[in-house]
Structure formats: C-alpha cells, structure tokens
C-alpha cells in the first residue's frame, strides 16, 4: 500500500519561518550582551550548541546533519566569583508566554542546575520590544503562582529588564545569584 505524503500548509511554513527568525534575532541580542559582560569581566556565558551528528559530508566544508536529541538550555556560563548561570531564551507575540515553551528536556536540565544551586531563569522577549528575566523558581511553579500554565504581560512586568544599547539581563544578579552589581 502506497503512503501519501501530507501537503505542508504554506501559512504554517511561513509562520514557522517568522518564529525562527524572531528567535534567532533575540538570541543575537543575548549573545551581544554576553560579549559585553565578558569584556567587563562580569560573566562568561556561551550559547549552548545544538547536539547534531553529521550523516553525510559534501564539499567545501559543507555537510548534512541531524539533531541527535532535544535541545538543552540555550545559554550556560559562570558569573564573576564562580556562580553557574543557566538560562533559556523564549520570545512570544501577544499578551502571554506559555510555560510549555520550555521543552520537557530543557525543563529537566534547568531543574537539575537549579537544584545544584545555579542561577537559573528564562529570558523572555515579548512582542519584539520588552524583555523579562523570570526566575526559574517562578517559571517552574507557574500554576502555583498564577493558577495557570502561562504568564500575562502584567505579571511579567515584575521581571522586566532594561535594553539600553545592550540587554541588561544580569542587572540585579550578583556572583551568588542574588541582588546586585551588574
């Protein structure tokens, strides 16, 4: 019996493309901030590479690869003084961010780092204009804090961070993961 392939919906393909572009732009903003923190000696934070395996080599350094497992948290590093920092970056349009935007694999990894004493949070970009650092202890207990598995813009306001030439995502965090000097 011959299997028929489902046609891809061009609108969904376009929406996926736009969302990937927004996410990549947000990550570039974060990477610029990470470079700034590194230059100041405040932190060394790097983007976590996606785990992939090369399945076919082409020419001139090109290759075909597949992702081996689901993504780890987006960024990992160390604050001045030795404190580990691990965080996920999520962007959303509209008036809410869903808890499920962080995958189960990412949640598991963030929980492990948090339980070991790392500074863990989710950086959120809403509507390409406002930025928030949601502490992991709030994100992971969203249902307890808000009675649902998403946060509205008005709830995110308590976690808003500054974007003044660079994203100040460590502002208010010190070498021990508490209020601070960055």
pLDDT in tens, 138-179: 999 999 999 999 999 999 999 999 998 899 999 988 655 544
pTM for this predicted structure: 0.79
Helical ranges in 75-179 per DSSP H? 104-115, 136-139, 142-146, 153-156
Q: Could you give the CA distance from residue 25 to residue 30 in angstroms, rounded to a whole number? A: 9
Highest mean pLDDT of the ranges 19-33, 57-71, 109-123:
109-123
pLDDT in tens, 82-92: 999 999 999 99
Q: Could you give the CA distance from residue 43 to residue 82 in angstroms, rounded to a whole number? A: 9
* Tokens encoding 143: 């249902």
């Amino acid at each position: 019996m011959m299997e028929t392939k489902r046609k891809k919906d061009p609108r969904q393909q376009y929406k996926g493309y736009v969302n990937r572009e927004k996410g990549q732009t947000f990550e570039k903003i974060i990477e610029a901030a990470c470079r700034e923190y590194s230059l100041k000696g405040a932190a060394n934070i790097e983007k976590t590479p996606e785990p992939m395996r090369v399945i076919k080599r082409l020419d001139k350094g090109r290759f075909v690869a597949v992702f081996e497992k689901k993504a780890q948290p987006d960024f990992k590093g160390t604050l001045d003084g030795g404190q580990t920092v691990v965080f996920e970056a999520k962007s959303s349009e509209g008036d809410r961010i869903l808890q499920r935007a962080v995958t189960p694999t990412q949640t598991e990894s963030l929980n492990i780092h948090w339980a070991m004493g790392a500074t863990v949070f989710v950086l959120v970009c809403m509507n390409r204009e406002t930025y928030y650092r949601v502490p992991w202890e709030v994100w992971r207990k969203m249902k307890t804090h808000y009675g649902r598995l998403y946060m509205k813009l008005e709830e995110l306001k308590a976690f808003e961070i500054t974007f003044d030439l660079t994203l100040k995502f460590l502002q208010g965090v010190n070498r021990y993961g508490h209020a601070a000097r960055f």
